[in-house]
Amino acid sequence: MKKLKSVWIIAGGAERIAELSAGAAAWGEETALLYAGEREKAAGAGTVYYLGPLTGVSYLSYIPAIVALVREKQPELVLVESSRNGRLAAAAVAAAVGVSALTDIDSLEADEDGGGIVGRRMVYGGAAWKTERVSGPTAVVCVGAGVFPPGETPPPGEVIETRSEAAPGIRLLERKENPAQNVNLPAAGRIVGVGRGLGAAENLGAVRAFAAALGAEIACSRPVAEEERWLPKERYIGVSGVIAKPDVYIACGVSGQVQHMAGIDRAGVIVAVNKDKNAPVFRQCDYGLVADLNAVLPRLTELFI
Amino acid sequence: MRIVVCYKCVPEEQDLKIRPDRTPDWSGAARKIGQYDLNAIEAGVRLAESAGGEVLALTAGAGVGDSKLQKAVLSRGPAAMYGIKTDEETVSDSLATAWLLKAGIEKIGGVDLVLCGEGSGDIYAQQVGPLLGALLGWRTLNAVSALSFAGGALRAERALENSREVLLADLPAVAALTTDANLPRIPGMKDILAAGKKPVAVWDAAEVSAPPPRGAEIVSILAPEKRERRQIIVEGESEESLAAFYGHLRKVLR
């Protein structure tokens, strides 16, 4: 693959910076990171544009500065972390350069013949893949976790303070951190997924014990997070949630709706436990157990300890 | 306050058929208001109910000129509906869609606040709201889980991955709502009857705007290749069943 001249990263968390940086180094001759936050953490690309701190300021305030830098330097590709701030920054940059940002991309390729950058995302609730080509001077892509294999990150380079003016007309009144919800499902090797078939939040204890015995992360379906609220939203797998590809996925009380299964389609092995023999999940799994989850889970856990 | 709520009429997923060449076939598929847009409509109507002002609904693409879908949106509270006629391909592109909506908002005129859903119910790129704000040059917020007016400005709570922030944004502004912002109402018979009497304006895309730019070109839309799974199913809760299932599990977990 012929390398692009300049690939930029817009990201905040160290893990995501490292991942996108590996991607940027594979794609581009030069890399740069646009970063707001703690000054000493501004590292991870050939050049770092340090936008400013996030104490007392919303990330939103730096978006005009991000747009101005992209306009001025015109990188050929901007890789943006798939976060809420990332998607907002991506749209602002995309509007400025006249493209649609490709978001939640699961694969990215350079089109050697037709030119441009080609990315693929899930659409229609997981029923199809939409592949799109962006052929502007600058392509903007929001990349989910796990898309780029870990690779070499460029040696720490120059840090340029942009000293940009904060956007007028937006003021941060309050911020509450909730770091408890840090979970990296896309990187998990084993995941136990909880569906509504669990019955009640009280039964989560048995799932936790089972997951712990297996060394697995816990995830869930959308209704479990958004309607029942047994688990936080960050843990739901599906088209509008997390797309994961563990070696093993164990679906517990998950019916197997397409929106959920699309989010786990690339798991190495899918295992299902459900008391409904006719649940669609049994047609999409490698191994299944037709049984009452709450009766068998503690017994299975014992076998694994 | 004049609030515009944007929405997209998307095909009903259950009506999707996949052709042998894996392309989707939507012929005969019913349309509905995108599920995430219902939160934007509800948020706009509640804001106007509590703070005063009017709520207008705006869409582009499918659902324009369809009296059932027009009634569906108006029965949820907006005072009028504006629709921009355009083809399916145009509204499958984030930039083109935002461009048309911007033109519609400018034609409506005097708009203080635009609300969008988090993403469309079919594509869900989550870009149209943020793009629209950028194109209009207005204060733009996404991930908004609560909002109110405060001293002529918008007070918005944003739900981020690791934090929640409360912001005060000057108007005019564009906000994209999260799904937990509210529980959209179910229109009653009275609302549905009243909806039939509300004004509807339909514009051709050419009436409101120059041809919108496409931000990306579709290479293909294809159903995933079916991945065959082994489907080895054990039934029952007996010791034997559990031992058999455990045997399989142990193999894959090794």
Please write the tens of the pLDDT for every residue from B184-231.
999 999 999 999 999 999 999 999 999 999 999 999 999 988 788 999
pLDDT of residue A15: 86
Please write the tens of the pLDDT for every residue from B84-128.
999 999 999 999 999 999 999 999 999 999 999 999 999 999 999
Residue B88 lies in a domain: yes
Residue B55 Cα, gap to closest chain A Cα (Å)? 23
User: If we measure between CA atoms, which residue out of B30, B13, B51 comes closest to residue B147?
Assistant: B51
CB contact under 8 A, B95 and A258: no
Domains in chain B, number: 1
CATH code linked to domain A4-175: 3.40.50.620
**Which residues, given as ranges, of chain A have pLDDT below 70?**
179-182
Residue B84 lies in a domain: yes
Residue B25 lies in a domain: yes
ipTM of the complex as predicted: 0.93
Residue B116 lies in a domain: yes
CB contact under 8 A, A287 and B224: no
Report A:139-158 residues touching B (Cβ under 8 A): none
CB contact under 8 A, A130 and B220: yes
Q: Which CATH class is domain A180-304?
A: alpha beta
Per CATH, A4-175 and A180-304 having the same topology is answered yes
Name the residue range of residue B79's domain: 2-217
Of A128, A233, A287, the CB nearest to B248: A287
CB contact under 8 A, A60 and B141: yes
Q: How far is B108 from A236, CA to CA, in rounded Å?
A: 39
CB contact under 8 A, A303 and B13: no
Tokens for B74, please give them.
Answer: 């108006």
Please write the tens of the pLDDT for every residue from A56-77.
999 999 999 999 999 999 999 9
Q: What is the CATH number of the domain that holds B88?
A: 3.40.50.620
pLDDT of residue B187: 96
- Number of residues that this document lists for chain A: 305
Q: What is the largest CA-CA distance in chain A?
A: 63
pLDDT of residue A182: 65
Tokens for A238, please give them.
Answer: 């599906």
Task: Spell out the domain ranges in chain A.
Answer: 4-175, 180-304
Residue B6 lies in a domain: yes
Report A:227-256 residues touching B (Cβ under 8 A): 233-234, 239-240, 247-248, 250
Q: Which residues of A touch B170 (CB under 8 A)?
A: 168-170
CB-based contacts of B175: which residues, under 8 Å, 6+ apart?
B113, B114, B115, B116, B129, B140, B141, B142, B144, B147, B154, B156
Query: Do A218 and A207 touch, CB atoms closer than 8 A?
Result: yes
Residue B224, number of CB atoms within 10 A of its CB: 15
Residue B144 lies in a domain: yes
